[in-house]
Amino acid sequence: CFSLHYLIPQQGIPYSQSLAHFAGFLGIALVGIGTGFLFHELAHKGVAQRYGYHAEFRIWKLGLIIAVASAIISFGQFLFFAPGAVYTSTYKRPDPREEGLISTAGPVANIILAGLFFLLAMGTGYSDTWSLIGSFGFQVNLWLAAFNLIPFPPLDGVKILRWNKPAWFALAALSLWLLRMLMLGVIR
């Protein structure tokens, strides 16, 4: 879904080169998005289990269909990606603090990953595959953190805000500030 726009031939670029770009970016996207998604969900699961809850990832088939459809309809320019989430189950409802900490773990994992990918991009320069992986991983993890902090159910932000408004504000402000710096070109 994230590399689909490379399949569309650009003016003056042979289709075989478009296919090569697609294959190359597919690998970069798998590393950047794959680690971001995986560690986001594993962070939720780890914190939930630390509090004694059963936690498991459940796929959301409609979310996968929407992701593919939005990528195809927009030729890879817009994507709504929500393939599933970690669900906790127990005999009791988590208290707001536990639920807030479980929810905080995902966006924090993305912010930490963004920092690691940024170091990868900076440490290798902007001319090779590793720097492209670092740059893309940095950007996508910032977007994952910011998106998940939106205080709208079922996203993490609503549970964090319910638990601790200053914690939500600090995470949201950090994510939005980093995204703003990215969009202004101050950081890449």
**Ordered DSSP codes for 139-164:** HHHHHHHHHHTSSSTTSHHHHHHHH-
> Where do runs of H (alpha helix) occur along the chain?
15-50, 61-73, 96-124, 129-148, 156-163, 165-183
Active site includes 41? Answer: yes
Choosing from 41, 56, 98, 99, which is the catalytic residue?
A: 41
Distance between CA atoms of residues 153 and 114, nearest Å:
24
Distance between CA atoms of residues 180 and 75, nearest Å:
25
Tell me which residues are annotated as active site.
41
